[in-house]
Amino acid sequence: MGHIRIEREALGRLLPDGHGPHPSSYQQAFNDLAGTHRGRPVGEILPALREAADRALLGFTAADLREQAAAISAGEPYELRVTLT
């Protein structure tokens, strides 16, 4: 399980807010990767996750992204706690 602190204004970059399409939300990118990269090596998933996090301007650590990539690779759920600041 991961944890991230973000400003309230950044929430739309993390999660779609229901007020229109958010194709670049991090959650959508994560879901897309989970649908296409199950069973692939973590090292193959990490660059795509880093790109999505950078695009969404989210400050995930390398350890966070590795944990997320491992969950995608294994086809396991990933829980992220979000604290709004």
Full residue range of the structural domain in which residue 76 is found: 2-16+23-84
Domain count, the chain: 1
DSSP state of 13: H
Read off the pTM.
0.86
Q: How far is residue 2 from each of residues 18, 23, 46, 74, 82, measured CA to CA in Å?
A: 24, 22, 15, 16, 9
User: pLDDT tens-digit profile of 10-68?
Assistant: 888 898 765 555 456 899 999 999 999 999 999 999 999 999 999 999 989 999 999 99
| Partners of 19 in the β-ladder | none
| The predicted structure's pLDDT at residue 70 | 97
pLDDT at 19: 58
